[in-house]
Amino acid sequence: MLTRSSVSEKQKKSQYYSASGSDAKYMAMSFENAVKQCQAYINKVATHYYRQVEDVKTKREMTERYIIEYVDTEKPDVEGFSELLELKEALIEEITQYGPITDAMEDPEIDEIRANGPDQIFVERYGKTYRWDKSFNDREHMEKVITKLIRASKVRLTPKNPMVNARTIEGSRVNATHASISPYGNPAFVIRKFKKARISAEEMIKEQSFSTNMYKLLTLIPRANLSWLTVGPTGSGKTTLNEMLVKYIDPMCRVITIENPSELRLIRREGDSSTGRVINDVLQYESVSEDDADSSSATMENLLINAMRQSPHWIGPGELRAPREFTTALRAAQTGHYIFTTIHAEGDQEAIFRFLTAYLSASNEPAELALRNICAAIKFIIYQERLADGTRKVTSISEVRGAKGLTPIIEQIYKFECIDVEEDPETGKVKRIIGKHKRVGRISQDLEQKMLKSGIKRSKFEFLTREVSPDEEEVYDVDNI
């Protein structure tokens, strides 16, 4: 029988003992605990490069090497494994493989994976949904993969906790639900894959997400300290667009963002390298859900209140949801801070009314006064949509000029006009939405003055002050930006 005194320090890390009188009985580690210890080892020794790797296949290969290193270094004694080689293979399978969705996780063209049951898997590629040709063996197999997906976030999916938001070890977002809340007895999950490399402005112009002149206007909004709302449905590209715009804020202007989960990648470094010195004043927080909150939790509302005490120039709540988040965001905008955020709405005017409705449900302020304050704080509304052909387009850019009674005064500057639909002759499915961007309005004189006071030369925005010509055509010329 082994006693505590006869066991090496390395063995102590890998083995368990149950007391029996004055001696301790040796017990091998369970495989579940070996998995936990291996992941803790990876988190401890992983390099900065490993944490920054975007490609899932490359990260999996690196993870496999760390697993092998863990087994060779620690030599854990695990129940059911007499050979270390067998243990390595089992750990690699457990930690890096996701059953039928492994290939989908590694495919850089797939943005989202959805499973509504063991044999109901769908993927989204370039904005279009496709049926995945592989399935889980059964419900138990699917639940095992869900456990792997959410393990890195140290949360559990149970009948008492039937809904979880988590991240995979690669950084992708996961929402999973327990079988107990399904009328069909199926678990479900959605994976939104993390992409470190965002699409560039040049690529967005080439793909006709917006025209060259629209891009020029978009870049002027943050440079002129004009608070904005980015509006649109889920998956329309709002975060990508906001990330692009924030880059035009002066790097010495302090920016504080609050998201749940954190998606914006705003840190800029000298030489655009991962090791260069940080050159912009950015502080980012990740808030907790209101459902998991207590009085001292890092909720969106509490972090917004705290952010106002941290000398920000700009505050960026990732998305406003709860009524008190709207009231706090407006308070921030009225006390010398500029804000940018996202809202789910069906257009520019609808976004203002969504803001107003949420605000009034947490405030006793008269509706007309509340609307006037909202329209004074928000200067631009950018509406973005994902069309039936999978493309993401900015379909309107509007200036908010104030309010009259309970009517917001909004001037649309640009819009996307659909003309027709091109179908695939064989399948009859949508192949392409035919349309064009058009300038339909001009900026106000008040906005002209704001831009000039912000140090923007008139020549950079003068095209926005002219009357719209019927012959005016929007171009998508990346060489002219």
Per-domain residue ranges for the chain?
27-96, 100-192, 201-480
* Topology of domain 201-480, CATH: Rossmann fold (3.40.50)
Residue 256's φ and ψ, nearest 5 degrees, are -120, 125
- The set of residues, in sequence order, having a beta carbon less than 8 Å from that of 284 and lying 6+ positions away, is 256, 257, 258, 259, 262, 264, 266
Kindly state the tokens that stand for 126: 């370039």
> How does 45-60 read in b/e, with b if 16+ C-beta sit within 10 Å?
eeeeeeeebeebeebb
Q: How confident is the model at residue 54 (pLDDT cuts 50, 70, 90)?
A: low
Q: How confident is the model at residue 16 (pLDDT cuts 50, 70, 90)?
A: very low
Examine the pLDDT at 51 and tell me if it is beyond 90: no
Examine the pLDDT at 390 and tell me if it is beyond 60: yes
Average pLDDT over residues 389-410: 96
- The set of residues, in sequence order, having a beta carbon less than 8 Å from that of 463 and lying 6+ positions away, is 213, 216
> How many whole angstroms separate alpha carbon 163 and alpha carbon 150?
11
Q: Hey, what CATH class is 100-192 in? A: alpha beta
Tell me the per-residue pLDDT of 281-331, one tens digit each, with 9 for 90 and over. 999 998 887 655 555 588 999 999 999 999 999 999 988 989 999 999 999
Examine the pLDDT at 139 and tell me if it is beyond 60: yes
Q: How confident is the model at residue 110 (pLDDT cuts 50, 70, 90)?
A: very high
Burial label for 250, CB within 10 Å (0-12, 13-18, 19+), is middle
> How many whole angstroms separate alpha carbon 112 and alpha carbon 190?
7
User: Taking the model in full, what pTM does it have?
Assistant: 0.78
Q: Are 266 and 255 in contact (CB under 8 A)?
A: yes
Cα 407 to Cα 11, 327, 445: the distances in Å are 72, 20, 21
Q: How confident is the model at residue 479 (pLDDT cuts 50, 70, 90)?
A: confident
The terminus-to-terminus CA distance of the chain in angstroms comes to 77
Q: What is the DSSP string of 231-281?
A: E--TTSSHHHHHHHHHTTS-TTS-EEEEESS-------BGGG-SSSPB-S-
Check residue 243 and give its pLDDT.
92
Q: Do domains 100-192 and 201-480 have the same CATH topology?
A: no
Kindly state the tokens that stand for 183: 């009328």
3-state helix, strand, coil in the chain (%, to 5): 40, 25, 40
- Describe the crossing of helices 323-334 and 300-307 by its angle, rounded to 10 degrees: 10
Check residue 6 and give its pLDDT.
35
Kindly state the tokens that stand for 192: 């939104």
Examine the pLDDT at 146 and tell me if it is beyond 80: yes
Residue 17's φ and ψ, nearest 5 degrees, are -135, 140
